[in-house]
Amino acid sequence: MSSLSNNSSSSHGNSFLQMPPIKFTKLFINGDFVDSLSGRTFETIDPRTEEVIARVSEGDKEDIDIAVKAARQAFDSGPWPRLPASERAKIMMKWADLIDENIEELAALDTVDAGKLNYINKVVEIPSATNALRYYAGAADKIHGEVLKMNGDFHAYTLLEPIGVVGHIIPWNAPSLSFFIKVSPSLAAGCTMVLKPAEQTPLSALFYAHLAKLAGIPDGVLNIVPGFGPTAGAAISSHMDIDVVSFTGSIEVGREVMQAAARSNLKPVSLELGGKSPLIIFNDADIDKAAQLALFGIMSNKGEICVASSRVFVQEEIYDEFEKKLVEKAKSWVVGDPFDPKSLQGPQADRNQLEKILSYIEHGKREGATLLTGGNTVGNKGYYIEPTIFCNVKVNFNFIKVSTSVSSA
């Protein structure tokens, strides 16, 4: 019996359908929204309904070239790197204020683009993003080097300067926070940049670009080129006029980014790659609280999070009680429309993620793991799936019993 109290009725019912206006779907290059050179577009899909939200301009290598040229010109001869740091900070602060003023619309964009809970977008993710922006705005005039004591009549010091044009490639699971974790320090340092949002979630990034221009960030400093990894992403990684690249995503693609950077101009690379995080529970734990934290650790953001506690190791003396509580809580976990404030879990970001999770569930069954609860999709539309828990999972050591939650890649 499924105890998902908010399944098919709220997963795609009209009562919670809150489609925001889609205002910006083109590339943002040198301060303007423009079509891609090829004229191609791609669909962005509402994971609640599997319906097309909008068609977004598809950037390719040629578009990345134009964006990089704009960023290079803005860095080499534009005002941004030459502004007093306190002036950069004022503009960044104004940008953050504009985001606060438009938070309802931005939160709705991330909900319909990524399936993220709307109230979490409004009270957690986007406020965290603007906090990052304000933090680095405050740090802009505190970037300094060191004075070094030398032998003899010498004076030595180090001076920190902006590195140049930065290439950013961000993931789909936290589109707003990922955007500002990368953009904010680059702006504070005086860099210019080209950013590729994930093809699953381009809409909020383009809206942020619009607000950046309203805030006074000069043309060419921030360029947004939606597109696909093998084309636009690869062009950023291998571009000879990008000075550093930052990527968040899978280990496999991270290797490709590093190789492309090395083969081109040997640009520095910053990688934040996927993890596989264990949760370990000992027999002195509050079992009810531990079960709640274990469930939240894997089901938060639908499991689409790099630090999700996808494996749970439990000390044997409390294993049976913990398992019982965890299953009870999973069965009462509310899966439904992410605009519904009662929902605890929305749909997966896209069909690929849903199918990957279902393949993991089948893999667990084939390996002989015991399915305790879940394993099924929810409703007739949308990429919804039940919280799923396996036990008796094969591991490389056998001195403890294991309970593993499966929810995402």
Listed residues 226, 252, 273: the one ending a domain = 273
Residues 6+ apart with CB under 8 A from 74: 30, 80, 192, 218, 219, 220, 221
Contacts of 112 (CB under 8 A, 6+ apart): 19, 20, 46, 48, 53, 203
Say if CB 107 and CB 101 are below 8 A apart. no
pLDDT score recorded for residue 16: 55
**pLDDT of 17:** 63
Q: Specify the number of domains making up the chain.
A: 2
Q: Is 272 a catalytic residue?
A: yes
Q: At how many degrees (to 10) do helices 319-331 and 287-299 cross?
A: 50
The pLDDT tens digits of the residues spanning 360-404 come to: 999 999 999 999 999 999 999 999 999 999 999 887 554 444 444
Residue 20 is predicted with a pLDDT of: 85
Same domain, 291 and 266: no
224: pLDDT strictly greater than 70: yes
Is the residue at 154 inside a domain?
yes
Backbone angles phi, psi at 373, to 5 degrees: -165, 155
Mean residue pLDDT across the chain: 91
- Of 363, 248, 220, 362, the residue nearest 307 (C-alpha): 248
The predicted model gives 31-47 an average pLDDT of 97
235, 252, 273 - which closes a domain = 273
Tell me the CATH number at 330.
3.40.309.10
Structural domain ending residue among the three candidates 251, 273, 295: 273
pLDDT digits (tens, 9 = 90+) for 148-204: 989 988 889 999 999 999 999 999 999 999 999 999 999 999 999 999 999 999 999
Question: Are 265 and 366 contained in the same domain?
Answer: no
**pLDDT(41) > 50:** yes
Q: Same structural domain for residues 217 and 173?
A: yes
Q: Do 285 and 397 belong to one domain? A: yes
Is residue 10 scored above 60 in pLDDT? no
Other Cβ atoms within 10 Å of 198 Cβ, number: 25
The whole-angstrom separation of Cα 233 and Cα 227 is 7
Residue 274 pLDDT exceeds 50: yes
What's the mean pLDDT in 283-292? 96
93 in any annotated domain: yes
Query: How many angstroms from the chain centroid is the CA of residue 171?
Result: 4
Do 222 and 286 lie in a common domain? no
- The percentage of the chain sitting over the pLDDT mark of 70, rounded to a whole number, equals 92
Query: Across residues 241-249, what is the average pLDDT?
Result: 97
Phi, psi of 322 (to 5 degrees): -65, -45
- Mean pLDDT (whole number) for 305-315: 90
Mark whether 288 and 152 lie in a shared domain: no
Please state the rounded mean pLDDT for residues 222-250: 97
Flag whether pLDDT at 408 surpasses 50.
Answer: no
Q: Is residue 8 part of a domain?
A: no
> Is residue 251 domain-resident?
yes
Please determine, for residue 321, whether its predicted confidence score (pLDDT) is greater than 50: yes
Q: In this predicted structure, what is the pLDDT of residue 275? A: 75
- My answer on whether 221 and 326 are in the same domain is no
Q: Which of 50, 87, 104, 272 is catalytic?
A: 272
Which CATH number characterizes residue 263's domain? Answer: 3.40.605.10
The answer as to whether 289 is a domain residue is yes
**229 and 335, same domain (yes or no):** no
d(CA 67, CA 11): 39
Q: What are phi and psi of 279, to 5 degrees?
A: -110, 125
Q: Rounded to two decimals, what is the model's pTM? A: 0.90
The DSSP output letter for 42 is: E
Same domain, yes or no: 218 and 298: no
Q: How far is CA 116 from CA 46, 85, 296, 344, in A?
A: 11, 35, 15, 10
**Residue 14 located in a structural domain:** no
**Higher-scoring residue by pLDDT: 306, 231:** 231
SS3 for 183-209 is HHHHHHHCCEEEEECCCCCCHHHHHHH
pLDDT of residue 404: 43
Q: Which two tokens stand for residue 194?
A: 């080209």
Residues 266 and 339 in one domain: no
> What pLDDT sits at residue 396?
59
Average pLDDT of the segment spanning 199-213: 98
Q: Give the per-residue pLDDT at 403.
A: 43
**Residue 181 CA: distances (Å) to CA of 1, 78, 115, 168:** 42, 24, 21, 10
| 48 and 159 fall within a common domain | yes
Q: Which has the closest alpha carbon to 194: 49, 48, 69?
A: 69
Residues composing the chain: 409
Please write the tens of the pLDDT for every residue from 104-163. 999 999 999 999 999 999 999 999 999 999 999 999 999 989 999 899 888 899 999 999
Residue 36's domain spans which residues?
21-273
Average the pLDDT over 219-226 and give the result: 98
Question: Cα–Cα distance between 320 and 248 in angstroms, integer?
Answer: 38
Report if residue 1 sits inside a domain: no
CA angle centred on 212, ends 211 and 214, rounded to 5° = 60
Give yes or no: residues 235 and 334 share one domain.
Answer: no
Instruction: Decide: 47 and 115 in contact? Cβ < 8 Å.
Output: yes
> Is position 10 within any domain?
no
Tell me the two tokens of residue 402.
């294991």
pLDDT of 69 higher than 50: yes
